[in-house]
Amino acid sequence: MQIIEIREPGEFEVSEDTVVGIDFGTTNSLIAISKDYNSQIIKMSDGSELVPSVICVMEEKIGVNNYDAKKYIRSIKRLLAKSSEEIKNTPNLMTLASDLDLSAAVPRVKIGKNYLSLPEVASEIFKYLKSEAELSLDCKLKKAVVSVPAYFDDNARGQVLFAARLAGLEVIRLISEPTAAAYAYGLNQQQEGAYLVYDLGGGTFDVSILNMRTGVLQVVATGGDNMLGGDDIDILLAHYMASQMDIEINSEIIFLAKKAKEDLSSRDSIEIIYEDNKLAISRNEFEELVLPVVEKTVKVAKDTLYDADNIDLDGIILVGGSTRMPLISDLLTKSFKTEIYSDQDPDKIVALGAALQAENLSAKPKSLLIDVLSLSVGLEVYGGIAEKIILRNTPIPFSITQEFTTHSDNQTGMQFHIVQGEREMAKDCRSLARFELNGIPLAKAGKGRVEVVFAIDADGILSVTAREAITGKIHAIEVKPSYGMSEEEVFHALKIAYENVAKDHKERLLVEAKERAYSLITGLEKAIEETPWLLTENEKIKIDKAISSLQKAVILDNQEDILIKIDGLNSLATVFIQKHLDKGVDMHLKGMHINEIK
């Protein structure tokens, strides 16, 4: 007898090779699955699809959806890759940290006699999603595509990877949330088009400009504000309600404000009742109140489009529950005059897109996904200059090789300081890592050569490999800074860089001039020491005087004067330098057969 397996219509056939999509959200998290490019949210055993990203803290354990708990940790995603000091100095983060131990450098949670790191705590969300999905699908799950904010740096991304791994999930790709939303709308299947993804979540605001050309979906620019979200609108409305009712703001008022915001998205007016107070609010009043917040998000969106060279948009995709507010669609339509994509559930769209990408990676890919680097990465070079190696908004994955030479004679080691940022000097950039490559063979300055490979993988993790050209000695490092940067910090870094462009450029030119001066003086003094007989007494006096004059200009930090005196010293020393070089060649070739000269 032939056995025929019968399944309910629309039911997914899954196996241990099935890859799910997970939206690890600030306010809520979801898990989804896709087959034949049709994705759906996996429901929890209680029938819900959205899982609050809230960790319940009990005496001896932590978990999700435990209503007996008295302590909770909310929005843990915003705390990942932050130091205790950073949290203490950020009021918005401190409101989330009441149940964290900030006494050590790295924030942690005390459970019984043990301490857990934030990735260990965050893993509970992944564990819950995984176990509930396995119950629903009746199958073990091992692999996932996980969404992260576009501005998560390599350390924050690494902590998300670690949290998922602790839950027993292999993350085959981290996908930026705006890009996942574009996937959910099927934009990756189109041949041409440019789209702005406007993602206003509970605690964060993200913008990405996506460009589709011949099957390649590329993130060409990103922006946002890590300290701006729907929660800010709720609190703004809650303060207004409290002032109108002449009461103190509290958690219940904030909850009522959130509900009022949602109701006013579909109604012209509502009435709020709290204890003995009644308050009528119209949509017009509400929109006038929150207009400055929404206008701020539109400005960020415009700035991001400017970073993308103001390419012509084919549409705007709305993500996040707060985008249900009609005011947002109205302002975006007026500002950008393009189609608004809002027919999919903004709370679910990221998870659905992550599931589509999961199927795309586990099956034969139909399109290529490219993300971008949020801030430039480079090295500190001579004089403390930050030499940018990979520029901001470079598509990733990406790899580049550069060669560096020794700065002085018989230099046996080379120190590398990797920095991130848009400023011209390393001291003004963010330090990522330091390492040293030793064992460089003895040689004249400029003869020792080291190849340095900078590589950023598809998950945004940066690795740096230095290889000495002659011996082949290698030093490799995976750069994971001690603590990550929030979107607000990234934007602050960009703002400071833009404000200091002229000052930084001037400082860099001065440093370059001083380094030229040092190099010229050092080279001349060494040449004079090696071949003093090539100079007359009068010539030596003139060169010494010019060197002294150049040194004084260097001390006075006068760039224009330094360059003038460098030219003057070069003119004085040109004949001597040529004689010195000729003598060096003569000494090198003396006694050699012509066949030995290469």
Residue 177 annotated in active site: yes
3-class SS at 48? coil
Residue 330 annotated in active site: no
Q: How far apart are the first and last CA of the chain?
A: 84
The torsion defined by the Cα of 156, 159, 164 and 169, in degrees rounded to 10, comes to 100
From 120, 132, 153, 199, the catalytic residue: 199
**What pLDDT sits at residue 311?**
87
Domain boundary among 467, 499, 531: 499
Residues 561 and 537 both lie in one domain:
yes
Residue 348 annotated in active site: no
Burial of 174 (0-12, 13-18, 19+ CB in 10 A): buried
Q: How many helices (H) and strands (E) does the chain have?
A: 14, 28
Query: The domain that contains 24 carries what CATH number?
Result: 3.30.420.40
Residue 23 annotated in active site: yes
Beta bridge partners of 30: 23
Query: The domain that contains 568 carries what CATH number?
Result: 1.20.1270.10
Q: Residue 110's CB: how many other CB atoms inside 10 A? A: 13
Domain boundary among 462, 477, 499: 499
Q: What are phi and psi of 529, to 5 degrees?
A: -65, -35
Per the domain annotation, does 249 fall within a domain?
A: no
Inter-CA distances, 30 with 128, 165, 173, 352, 457, Å: 10, 17, 16, 9, 25
Residues 462 and 406 both lie in one domain:
yes
pTM of the shown model: 0.62
Domain boundary among 499, 529, 553: 499
**What pLDDT sits at residue 296?**
93
What amino acid is encoded at 406 in this protein?
T
Question: What does the pLDDT look like over 18-70, one tens digit per residue?
Answer: 899 999 988 899 999 998 888 999 999 999 999 988 888 887 788 887 656 67
Residue burial 6-42, b: 16+ Cβ < 10 Å; e: rest? eeeeeebebeeebbbbbbbbbbbbbbbbbbeeebbbb
459 vs 158: CA distance, rounded Å: 9
Per the domain annotation, does 519 fall within a domain?
A: yes
Residues 48 and 181 both lie in one domain:
yes
Residue recorded with tokens 């924050």 = 156
Residues 86 and 145 both lie in one domain:
yes
What amino acid is encoded at 73 in this protein?
I
18 vs 30: CA distance, rounded Å: 17
**What pLDDT sits at residue 270?**
94
Per the domain annotation, does 509 fall within a domain?
A: yes
Per the domain annotation, does 401 fall within a domain?
A: yes
Largest CA distance in the chain: 112
Residues 541 and 564 both lie in one domain:
yes
Per the domain annotation, does 417 fall within a domain?
A: yes
Residues 387 and 531 both lie in one domain:
no
DSSP assigned state of 134: H
Residues 58 and 69 both lie in one domain:
yes
3-class SS at 556? coil
Contacts of 325 (CB under 8 A, 6+ apart): 233, 261, 264, 265, 287, 290, 294
What amino acid is encoded at 508 in this protein?
R
Residues 91 and 171 both lie in one domain:
yes
Residues 126 and 144 both lie in one domain:
yes
What amino acid is encoded at 569 in this protein?
L
3-class SS at 63? strand
Per the domain annotation, does 221 fall within a domain?
A: no
Beta bridge partners of 455: 399, 463
Total number of domains in the chain: 3
Residues 446 and 540 both lie in one domain:
no
Tell which residue, 530, 535, 538, 543, has the closest CA to residue 586.
530
Residue recorded with tokens 């005059």 = 337
Question: What does the pLDDT look like over 462-521, one tens digit per residue?
Answer: 777 777 777 666 666 655 433 345 556 666 676 777 677 777 778 888 888 888 888 788
Residues 403 and 521 both lie in one domain:
no
3-class SS at 143? strand
Residue 281 · residue 270 · CB < 8 Å: yes
3-class SS at 430? strand
From 86, 120, 132, 177, the catalytic residue: 177
Strands 51-52 and 413-420: unpaired
3-class SS at 70? coil
Residue 397 · residue 391 · CB < 8 Å: no
3-class SS at 61? coil
DSSP assigned state of 580: H
Supply the range of the domain harboring residue 28: 15-185+345-364
What amino acid is encoded at 454 in this protein?
F
Tell which residue, 76, 75, 288, 331, has the closest CA to residue 198.
331
Inter-CA distances, 205 with 151, 208, 308, 483, Å: 10, 10, 18, 21
234 vs 196: CA distance, rounded Å: 25
Residues 521 and 452 both lie in one domain:
no
131 vs 140: CA distance, rounded Å: 9
Element holding 44 (H helix, E strand): none
Q: What is the DSSP string of 270-320?
A: EEEEETTEEEEEEHHHHHHHHHHHHHHHHHHHHHHHHHTTTPPPSEEEEES
Per the domain annotation, does 8 fall within a domain?
A: no
DSSP assigned state of 214: T
pLDDT along the chain (598 residues), means of 10: 36 70 92 91 93 84 73 82 84 73 86 87 94 93 90 80 91 86 81 87 83 71 79 90 91 89 93 91 95 94 88 92 93 95 92 91 62 78 82 76 76 80 83 75 75 75 75 62 51 71 79 82 80 79 82 81 82 75 54 44
